[in-house]
Structure 1
Amino acid sequence: MAHEEPDPMSGESLDWLEEQGSIADAVDEDQLEDAAAEAYLAADDEYVPMDDGTGFLLVGGAEGGSIVSALPSGSILAASSAAPAVTGRDEALSGRLPILLVHRGGRHGDLLPLVMGQLHHQYGRSMAVGTVANLPAVKDEKLRSFFAQSSVASLRIADPQCYRLDGEVLRLEKEPIGKRAWEYAPYLASPEAADWEQRVLDAQRQVNASLLLTPGRALDPDDPQGSLDSMFQSADKALASMEQGERLALNVTIPSRWLTSEVLRNRLLDEILDQDHFDVLYVRTQWSQGKAFTPTEDAALLVGLKKLANLCQDEERSLLLPQTGLTGWFALAHGATGFGLGISGSDQCFAEYVFRRGRPGQLPAQRYFERQMLHTVDRASHDVAKSIPGYTQCECAYCADLLRNEPWSHVLSALHHLYSMGALTAKVHDESARPGGRHAAVRRIVAAAKKWTSGLPLGTSDLPRHLAAWDQAL
């Protein structure tokens, strides 16, 4: 597929660059980013065979992530191992492998199929890859093309984002539904229509989503029973209109109070327990976040996520936690089936909206995800960390260019982050063969990170304070 122009940049897509400069500064930086993206897309097509003999997976070039039935004449066959067969939707939802959901955000979505293909090639025997794209943010034809290229995705989810209608329940930006959202997602204009659920499902079908979602209006903690009843009535309508071969997930959007308050949490879990005809849950939780890319250390929220994941595991239901980043990865220890993240900070956490005034002239922050630390730090702290004995240098394809070239590429740094989260997800599965399963696997990884980072000479803002809370929760 030819390189497409980036989607128009919304306010939330700036948070990879937030806390540094004005919007004008960010756009100037994005022009440099486009050059880095173009370089990756301009690379030669590179193929690896599928080990089930069904074709060849592109792991390089503009069509990266695609699977073709025959090797094109004159093409390059990579001198590496074959790629595993793609896990099917229903097998992925069985929970045998943990699922990494890659979110398609506002920019550089054309690079994500390539990353997913590389992740599947390297780690596809230890995890399943899925992808999430937001219907109100992308034209149908672009989203269909994106899903078509994402051949290795076991799950293709077109999120209707109906929670944008619930600014009185959630903390959203002033106008959560902009002009393009009304155009791309016309169902948002008719939530009172008798066939509204059908319209929401049809919008997902039109882009070839493989896992459909109920509308997912936000649950109001100040009207718990009323909002729960409304959600399940809407979900039942959606379920009644399903067609043969389709799969539906219960789409739940909640402020964090639903998980941090024992009374609200018990009511939510009891209702979920009673609704046993929904065997897949897609739960988005909004919580406060002081700094982008920082996992939660809220003990009450961690307990709530644990209780939710435990229930789903005990009841043999698949729990997907979109837009949760490292916090979602942590929930794999307690029974979550999968979690999601993307390039921008808003895809790492469904954070309560807080207006941040830019400071003109300040350069964008140079962030780097330290897998060994389970934390994102600034470049100066990365330089400190790599000088410490025992540091393990990342060997992903993105770091080779990121760490040796100037200017700093935020895109390559973000792709490194995605790839590293794939490696961590696969490690949970590989380690789960030892006693204690996934819970013990996550506990060992967290304990090792906590031990290694103890005493590192880092700035206060770069200390992984969440590790202590996680260690205690495990």
Structure 2
Amino acid sequence: MAHEEPDSMSEDSLDWLEHEGSLAEVVDEERMQDAAANAWLAAEEEKYVAINDSDSYLAVGGAEAGSVVAAPPAGLAPTGTSRAPAITGRDVALAGGRPIYLVHRGARYANFLPVVMGDLHHKKGNSLTVGAIANLPSAKAQTTSGFFRQTSVAALRIADPQCYRLDDKVLRLPPKTIGPQVLKYAPYLADPEDSDWLRQVLDAQRAVGANILLTPGRALNPDDPQRSLDAAFQEADRALALSERGERVALNLTIPSRWLAGGALRNRLLDEILEQDQFDVLYVRIQWAATKAFAPTEDSDLLMGIRRLANLCGDEGRALLLPQTGITGWLALAHGATGYGLGVSGSEQCFAEFAFRRGRPGQQQAERYFEKQILHTLDRSALDPVQSAPGYLSCDCSYCPALFDSQPWSQPLAALHHIFAMGALTAKVHEDSMRGGRHAAVRRIVSSAKRWSSGLQLGSDDVPRHLAVWDQAL
């Protein structure tokens, strides 16, 4: 099947931390940027490989790349002796044998995501499990269900109801986070007092093909902690009671970072989670202070809280999924997290507190490149000195050759590289875990990045300052 174009971006879909230009300018800019990515995709030879333990085939080239089909098109034989790993089932994935890498479908470049997800499964599927997250309030139901069909390699398909949008008194959210377009896509957000509201939330997830259901995930109020916790867990229990045979329900929590930063509040949260042993999957979204887009957190108290949460889930044999955390979620794999999520835009790398930033008309997006050797994104201008430094290891993803040949800089290809590179880092944690487990594998990657980057001459925005805090925390 051909990859669908994403829905037009509504204002609430724009990245909270990036330039606030007009919507028309953003869309026109992205259409222009897609030219290089579309040319790359069109030039890819159509190829199919057999999938282990299956009669199906994975498209690994051409316009159908990322799709699973019953057979290659007539006249096109499978490619050589190469095979793709078997596609992991939901329950096996949640058992945690391999880290789960969740790719968020956002408004940007969504039509390319099945390509990179299929590519990751083909090349790294023995060392990670790919999953997909789509936000129900951000697209039509048929668009979301189409995305899940296209991302056939995804062991987990999560349709996030984003009910935290109702909690602008607890979270720092953009203005009008529930507008007419959102209500059109997610009508259950109109009346949370409806007696049938909880069933509506679950049915919306079922309707698009989610294979694990989320409880609503209303934000926990740190200023009224016990009442907030009681309400959230009572609602979660009612959702669990509404589940049907064969369904899995995850305890969905949305928390301001104060809950994890330390003291009695963190202890109360962890104690309450420990008591909720009817849930063996947790889906925890954490809002922390706004930073520069794509910059990982350096907050040592927050990192300790994430560590304590992941330790608890690991010790209790529960799967902890950390959506919208980017490379900070990757770090949590060291402490017992089962998986984490990221997407193309800065707001999908970090659920940051909203901070209004007025952009200048015509202001261009920053040209950034994720450099996995230092676990950080760099400005394009910093790439030449970094890539010429002794010991530099070039990226071997499918997107970098076309990215570095494209003029102007292709934001979609840079995004696909970023998603693939983070997937490769996730797989590396599993591949290297024979020596001391995931904690030791992550520690070695962080220590190596800190050591190698210390010899580089970088601008202030390009210095990976988080590495010193991470290295000490590990």
Question: What's the offset of the Cα at 1:25?
Answer: 4.7
Q: How many residues align?
A: 473
The equivalent residue for 2:4 is 4
Q: Give, in whole Å, the separation in 2 of the partners of 1:114 and 1:80.
A: 21
SS in 2 for 1:131: strand
| C-alpha separation in 2, matches of 1:261 and 1:209 | 34
Shift of 1:194: 1.9
Offset at residue 19 of structure 1 (A): 4.8
Are 1:256 and 1:285, in contact at CA under 8 Å, matched by a contact in 2?
yes
2:293 partner letter: A
How far 1:361 sits from its partner (Å)? 4.2
Aligned residue in 1 for 2:469: 469
Q: Quick one: distance in 1 between partners of 2:228 and 2:326? A: 27
User: CA 1:162/1:424 → structure 2, altered by over 3 Å: closer, same or farther?
Assistant: same
Contact 1:20-1:362 within 8 A present in 2 as well: no
Q: 1:13 to 1:394 in 2, by over 3 A?
A: farther
Aligned to 1:281: 282
SS at match of 1:251: strand
Which AA in structure 2 matches 1:468? A
Q: TM-score, normalised by structure 1?
A: 0.96
The Cα offsets for residues 198-229 of structure 1, whole Å up to 9 and x where unpaired, read as: 11000000011001000000000001001100
Secondary structure in structure 1 of the residue aligned to 2:231: helix
Deviations 1:259-290 (A, max 9, x none): 00321111111001011000000000000132
1:351 is matched by which residue type in structure 2? A
Change (3 A) 1:3 1:422: closer
Alignment check: 8 A CA contact 2:266 2:305 kept:
yes
For structure 1, the 5+ residue unaligned runs are none
Pair 231,109 (structure 1): closer, same or farther in 2 beyond 3 Å = same
**Which residue of structure 1 aligns with residue 141 of structure 2?**
140
- CA 1:80–1:358: 2 relative to 1, 3 Å: farther
Report 1:267-306 matches (<5 A).
Answer: 267-306=268-307
C-alpha separation between the residues in 2 aligned to 1:366 and 1:20?
A: 16
Q: What SS does the corresponding residue of 1:332 show, helix, strand or coil?
A: helix
Number of the residue aligned with 1:245:
246
Structure-1 residue corresponding to 2:18: 18
Instruction: From the superposition, tell whether residues 164 and 38 of structure 1 become closer, same or farther in structure 2 (CA, over 3 Å).
Output: same
Deviates more, 1:379-388 or 1:354-363: 354-363
Give the C-alpha shift of residue 61 in structure 1.
Answer: 2.6
Partners of 2:34 and 2:410 within 8 A in 1: no
Contact 1:17–1:364 under 8 Å retained in 2:
no
For 2:314, the equivalent position in structure 1 comes to: 313
Asked if the contact 1:13/1:107 (under 8 Å) is kept, the reply is no
For residues 388 and 10 of structure 1, the distance between their equivalents in structure 2, rounded to whole angstroms, comes to 42
SS at match of 1:397: coil
User: Residues 243 and 213 from structure 1, CA distance in 2 versus in 1: closer, same or farther, beyond 3 angstroms?
Assistant: same
Contact 1:21 1:363 in 2 (8 A): no
Match of 1:159 in 2: 160
Deviates more, 1:98-107 or 1:76-85: 76-85
Secondary structure, aligned partner of 2:405? coil
Matches for 1:412-431 after TM superposition, within 5 Å:
412-431=413-432
Q: CA deviation at 1:13?
A: 4.8
User: Aligned pair 1:457/2:461, yes or no?
Assistant: no
- How far off its partner does 1:5 sit? 3.6
Kindly indicate whether residue 357 of structure 2 is the aligned counterpart of residue 356 of structure 1. yes
Q: Given that residues 15 and 292 in structure 1 are in contact (C-alpha distance below 8 angstroms), is that contact kept between their aligned partners in structure 2?
A: no
CA-CA distance at 1:140 after TM superposition: 0.9
Residue identity over aligned pairs, in percent, reads 64
* Maintained 8 Å contact 1:22/1:359: no
Deviation of residue 138 (structure 1)? 1.1
Write the distance in 1 (CA, Å) between the matches of 2:372 and 2:399: 14
Which residue in the other structure is 1:439 paired with? 439
Query: Amino acid of the residue matched to residue 438 of structure 1?
Result: R
CA shift, 1:44, in A, is 4.3
**Alpha-carbon separation, structure 2, partners of 1:118 and 1:382:** 25
Per the alignment, residue 232 of structure 1 pairs with 233
The aligned counterpart of 1:181 is 182
Deviation >4 Å, runs of 4+: 11-14, 19-25
Alignment partner, residue 190 of structure 1: 191
Deviation at 1:2?
Answer: 3.5
Distance in 2, Cα, partners of 1:40 & 1:233: 50
Letter in 2 for 1:301: L
CA distance in 2, matches of 1:27, 1:173: 20
What SS is found at the alignment partner of 1:284? strand
Q: Which residue in the other structure is 1:73 paired with?
A: 74
* Structure 2 CA distance for aligned equivalents of residues 41 and 416 of structure 1: 14
Q: 1:426 to 1:3 in 2, by over 3 A?
A: closer
Which whole-Å CA distance do the structure 1 matches of 2:251 and 2:16 have between them? 30
- 1:380-419 correspondence to structure 2 within 5 Å: 380-419=381-420
Q: Distance in 1 between matches of 2:142 and 2:45?
A: 26
- SS of the residue 2:84 aligns to: coil
Paired residue for 1:370?
Answer: 371
Partner residue, 1:35 = 35
CA deviations on 1:410-462 (whole Å, 9 max, x unpaired) are 0100000000011000000011011x200000000000000000031100111
Take 2:347 and 2:261, find their aligned partners in 1: how far apart are those partners?
21
